[in-house]
Every structure is written in C-alpha cells, then in structure tokens.
Amino acid sequence: MRFPAALLCAALMCGGASAAEEGVCPNPEQMQGFKTCADVDKAEQEGEVVIYATNPEQAELKVLARFSEMFPKIKPTYLRLQAGALMAKVQSERQAQTYLVDAMQVSDMGMILDFQKKNGYSRYVSPEMSAINKAYKSEPEGYWTWGAIGPAGIAYNPTTVSADEAPKTWEDMLDPKWTGTVTVKVSNSGLQHVSWYELRQLYGENYWKKFAALKPRAFDSYVQQFDRLVNQQDKLIHTAQYAGYLEWKAKGAPVAFVIPEAGLPATPETWGLPTNGPHPNAGRLFLDWLLSPIGQKAIGDYLYLHAIRNDAPPPSGGLPIGQMRLLLPEDWRAFLASRPEFAREWDRLTGMR
C-alpha cells in the first residue's frame, strides 16, 4: 500500500521551500470531533459546498447528511460521475473559466497526478492530515490526500453458483463456462484501470485477451452490477467492489465474495480542493470533517469503504484492511501513461467501441 513520496515529487516537479507555508494554518480551531483551519463563520455565510465524486449518489448523500447535521447552514450539492467522465467535466469547466466545484474525489491516481501537474488543486494542509500516512498524501502535503481505500475481488450469487463451483482465483475467471454471465465496469472507472494494470502485471497481456472471449458486459456503477447479480441476470462480477458486496450483504441479499490469494486490486479515493472553488471556506471545512474520525466513520457506515486512519474502524461486516493483500501500482507514472492503452483495449473488450 506504500509508494515513495520522492517518486511522486519527481513525477510532479514539486515546489521547494517557498511553497512550504502556503495553505498551512498554525492555529487550527477545535470543533466537535475534529480540527479545522477554515473560517467557519464565512463557510456558513457561503451556505453551500459543491462536491464532485465517483461514489453512488444514494450512499454519498447519507455521508453528506452527517456533515449537514453538524453544519445545517451549509447545503451540500453532489454530482456523481465515473472518474474519467468527472475529470473531463472539470477540465471542460476550467477551459471555459467556469469554476463550480469546491471539493473533489477521484478514484484514479493517474488522473490525480495529471491534475496536480496542471496546477488544478489549491494547497490546503488540513490539520486532520497529521493522522494520515505520508505515503497517502501529495508531496508537498496539502494538494490531495487519500480519503478511503476500495479493494475489489470476485462476487457471485450463491443461489445460482455454488461455493464449490465459484472461481477461487483470477485465472479461474477465464473458464469458458462463464461466457456471457460476467460483468465489469466501464473504462471510465479508476478501479477497473487498476485491475487491468495489476492483473496484467501478474498474468501477462494474454489474461485480458482470454477474458475478452467471455463477452463481459460493462456498467457504469457497481449498483447496477450487484442489482443484476441479485436478480440472477448475471452470475459473476469481475473486479467486484468489496464495498458493494458489504452493502448488499447488509441488506440480506444473496451475495458471496471471493478474495483470491494473489490479492485484490484496490484504488484510493483521493480528495482535494480544486482551485477557484466558489465556496472555499465550506470546502476546507468539509475536507477537515471528512478526514477526521467522524467523517471516516461515516464513509465506512454508508459507503462501506475502508478508512485510511488507524483510529477509524473497518466498514461493518468487513475485514480490516491489514488482513488483505492489496494490489496497487508501484509506479504511478507508468500507470498514468497506460491509460490510453487501457481505454482502447477495454472499450474493445466490452464492445463499447
């Protein structure tokens, strides 16, 4: 789960000491359960915080409702898109010199690094960042930080696939008997990009060529995938989000999950404050809250994602993150460079092009 901060710094041509004090607040204010460097009075006067993220709307709105309980004068406005579509929207807005978003979460580190290169983020060193591992933050600190981790494995419906029959490894997923019964995410998904990248490292390029023969169906959201699985329209989800499994399991739905011994592709939910946000104090206040133990608990309670703070519990019913072998790119520059190839191959593989 670690990668060298020096590597990120080299990749991003980090600033020197002159930038060290920018966005840093020496005297944070103690709130109920977290610290903030935002001007709370001004945040309440702004009256709104606009958030772009990749999480399903219904679950994310429950997280935002927790924030609203503490700050009822600040209305959260939420826009959900897959990572690729979200970044395309933000870039289009910026080209038009239209700045609409205050806080943004993207699940593709390649896009995050590219956005930082383009000076897309304001620097704000949240006082809650001190509890987060250095490897999970930008260098210099304050441009972005991981807010959660989302691992993915194999999901199936035990009413249609027995435990004995279910795939036990990623290679088992290539069995021709699963043809026409498997779903994946579209190429705009950051997690799908990680899965493609990491499993190709493990099994070679032929892995995905063989997988293409299964004629997988691609969907925008894990909500669609698990709905179809539960309704017996499909038998398996490749790169099934563990969070989705926990969510449907909590509802009493017939779902089962396989953790292959080789490991689980995972993606960080990375948060930052884009430059020129219309509600800068509300954006800072929200980020402080989100990275605090109470915000991290809300993420686990409603999004079923794993927190990146050691003092926050795992999602209900889920294994601690330390008990999972996570597959994450070691070289984020190489990962970023692989996106065009991934998008072309994945769109062909899923029949989207």
The pLDDT value recorded for residue 94 is 95
Confidence label for 24 from pLDDT (cuts 50, 70 and 90) = confident
The pLDDT value recorded for residue 21 is 55
Give tens-digit pLDDT for 47-85: 999 999 999 999 999 999 999 999 999 999 999 998 889
The pLDDT value recorded for residue 14 is 43
Confidence label for 353 from pLDDT (cuts 50, 70 and 90) = low
Q: What is the mean pLDDT of residues 95-115?
A: 93
| Cα 213 from chain centre | 29
Q: What is the mean pLDDT of residues 257-284?
A: 97
The pLDDT value recorded for residue 162 is 97
Check whether 129 has a pLDDT greater than 60.
Answer: yes
Confidence label for 105 from pLDDT (cuts 50, 70 and 90) = very high
User: Under a CB-based contact definition with an 8 Å cutoff, are residues 282 and 102 in contact?
Assistant: yes
The pLDDT value recorded for residue 107 is 85
Domains and CATH numbers, the chain: 28-147+268-318 (3.40.190.10), 150-266+326-349 (3.40.190.10)
The pLDDT value recorded for residue 84 is 87
Q: What is the mean pLDDT of residues 2-27?
A: 49
Give tens-digit pLDDT for 138-196: 989 999 999 999 999 999 999 999 999 999 999 999 999 999 999 999 998 889 999 99
Residues 68-73: contacts with CB under 8 Å, at least 24 apart: 70/31, 70/32, 70/289, 71/43, 71/44, 71/285, 73/44, 73/47
Three-state secondary-structure class, residue 36: strand
How many other β-carbons are positioned within 10 Å of the β-carbon of residue 39? 16
200, two tokens:
């190709």
Residue-averaged pLDDT of the chain: 91
Check whether 12 has a pLDDT greater than 70.
Answer: no
Least confident of 11-15, 93-97, 284-288, 301-305: 11-15
The pLDDT value recorded for residue 60 is 96
Give tens-digit pLDDT for 281-316: 999 999 999 999 999 999 999 999 999 988 888 999
Torsion sign, CA atoms 218, 223, 226, 229? negative
The pLDDT value recorded for residue 336 is 86
The pLDDT value recorded for residue 48 is 98
The pLDDT value recorded for residue 352 is 67
Q: What is the mean pLDDT of residues 206-210?
A: 96
Half-sphere exposure of 28 (CA within 13 A, CB side): 21
Check whether 11 has a pLDDT greater than 70.
Answer: no
User: Under a CB-based contact definition with an 8 Å cutoff, are residues 308 and 146 in contact?
Assistant: yes
Percentage with pLDDT > 90 across the chain: 82
